[in-house]
Amino acid sequence: MPRPIVAIPADIRQFDGTTWHAVQTQYVKAAIKAAEVVPLLVPALEDGIDPDVILDRVDGLLVSGSATNVHPSLYGAEVRESDGPFDPARDATSLPLIRRAIDRGIPLLAICRGIQELNVALGGTLATEIHEQPGIEDHRKPQHPDRDVAYAIRQDVIIAEGSCIARYLGAGRVPVNSLHRQAISKAAPRLQVEALADDGTIEAVSVIDAKGFAVGVQWHPEYWAETDAPSRALFEAFGDAVRDFAARRSPS
């Protein structure tokens, strides 16, 4: 059986005097090397696309992190430019894909911005600039020129007993690289909280009524997916779910 295909929604970027549809290489490499799937980049279109046209042709959905944030209007919050930058085209592409992937039982792994999109897509809300809130640690990515230092594993999350992620990573404390300014505030009704940081920040969720693998994490398993055991285990679980889905839908 050929390697299954996984869709990755792109971001909009402006450089070299024009508009680009872009996905960071670290997500593409993790999909190929750790999940052992073929990534397909989906252009971000502000008018949106028919998600079923894409999902008819792929076996999984990987929703990546990004330097941009989900637009506050999508979860009923005040719009402040300081909470940007925003990417309306990414929102218009990712959120419908997430909803339809869950409805159709297509495996879903949502990372960083992705977990926030997952929460908003299902009716949850986000908290912005969480490092300014009392009792919340500074989860922002360090400003360091060496990306290995910026993405270093430096924080524990506490994975709940009996959770979906515990099947792959085990329950209890797991060291991760969680880097973000925003986080889930009110979890969507269809989401189960799977892991927390020591300060109570929601670090992982799963979709309660999902027909298949549907997990979101606030940290960045893609960055160390080739060398860190928990990071690789999460991508391998996603890849296994994608292959199972592809085998079930195959005419043969």
Which residues have C-beta within 8 Å of that of residue 37, sequence separation ≥ 6?
3, 4, 5, 6, 31, 59, 60, 239, 242, 243
Q: pLDDT tens across 11-34, in order?
A: 999 999 999 999 999 999 999 999
Q: Residues 221-234: pLDDT tens digits? A: 999 999 999 999 99
Q: Which domains does the chain have, with CATH numbers?
A: 5-249 (3.40.50.880)
Mean pLDDT, residues 71-81: 93
> Coil, strand, or helix at residue 182?
coil
- The average pLDDT across 63-87 equals 93
Q: 71, 139, 180, 220: which one is catalytic?
A: 220
Active-site option among 71, 132, 222, 236: 222
pLDDT at 134: 84
Cα 39 from Cα 6, distance rounded (Å): 5
pTM for this entry: 0.96
Active site residue 220: yes
Residue 252 pLDDT level (bands cut at 50, 70, 90): low
Question: Catalytic: 139?
Answer: no
Per the listing, tokens 């009996």 go with 162
Check 71, 112, 139, 194 and give the catalytic one: 112
Which whole number is the average pLDDT over 196-210?
A: 96
